[in-house]
A and B are shown apart, each in its own frame.
Chain A
């Protein structure tokens, strides 16, 4: 149990589908993040939320839409994705800006067909 739970663990979706990824943290952290991990590339920061307010959008295409209803929950809504969006999507949380470490979830393995 890492304290950060992501669902689903695996997702296969067509390019015209709409789906959502969910992340929940029970650590009392005030910051939550979405990262994209593709093969042979560094982790790419997508979005940052601090006290449920979005503080960063790292030039992510609008087909990815985040939602943070409270400090414990984070969603990533997906629609009209492309095959190149297939990747491992990781959620993380931290206290403040995370200078002492992030806690990651297990990720959602997304395949766009």
Chain B
């Protein structure tokens, strides 16, 4: 069974700080996606990474896919209260299924 483990599970920081969220597995994924979910809403896709070592930037968010395609990270620079939410990573397994991590709850205090 392919699993994705996210860390940390909960993060509370002050506005302006930087942070990194990790998504790790012992299995290889053909692609990996990051979602952000706000309370009472469904997850919204932020980015998809496909190639090992790939780095994508979305404004203050930087996403990286590990060289071996087993792990990924999300780095946020100068966090803002609007970044508050649940961040989910999800990997496409070798059977085509999308497997989700348990999520990282981020709270950014003004």
The answer to whether the Cβ of A42 comes within 8 Å of any Cβ in the partner chain is yes
The answer to whether the Cβ of B21 comes within 8 Å of any Cβ in the partner chain is no
How many residues of chain B get a CB closer than 8 Å to chain A's CBs? 24
Which of under 10, 10 to 19, 20 to 34, or 35 or more describes the interface residues of A? 20 to 34
Q: In the bound complex, do residue B44 and residue A45 qualify as a contact, i.e. CB atoms below 8 Å apart?
A: no
Chain A window 84-113, contacts with chain B (Cβ cutoff 8 Å), 1 for yes, 0 for no = 000000101000011111111111010000
The answer, among A97, A100, A104, for a CB contact under 8 Å with B43, is: A104
Q: In the bound complex, do residue A102 and residue B45 qualify as a contact, i.e. CB atoms below 8 Å apart?
A: yes
Q: In the bound complex, do residue A45 and residue B102 qualify as a contact, i.e. CB atoms below 8 Å apart?
A: no
Q: In the bound complex, do residue A45 and residue B98 qualify as a contact, i.e. CB atoms below 8 Å apart?
A: yes
Q: In the bound complex, do residue A106 and residue B40 qualify as a contact, i.e. CB atoms below 8 Å apart?
A: yes
The answer to whether the Cβ of B62 comes within 8 Å of any Cβ in the partner chain is no
Q: In the bound complex, do residue A100 and residue B42 qualify as a contact, i.e. CB atoms below 8 Å apart?
A: no
Interface centre among B30, B31, B41, B88 (most CB of A within 10 A): B41
The answer to whether the Cβ of B96 comes within 8 Å of any Cβ in the partner chain is yes
Q: In the bound complex, do residue B97 and residue A101 qualify as a contact, i.e. CB atoms below 8 Å apart?
A: no
Chain B window 68-108, contacts with chain A (Cβ cutoff 8 Å), 1 for yes, 0 for no = 00000000000000000000101010001111111100000
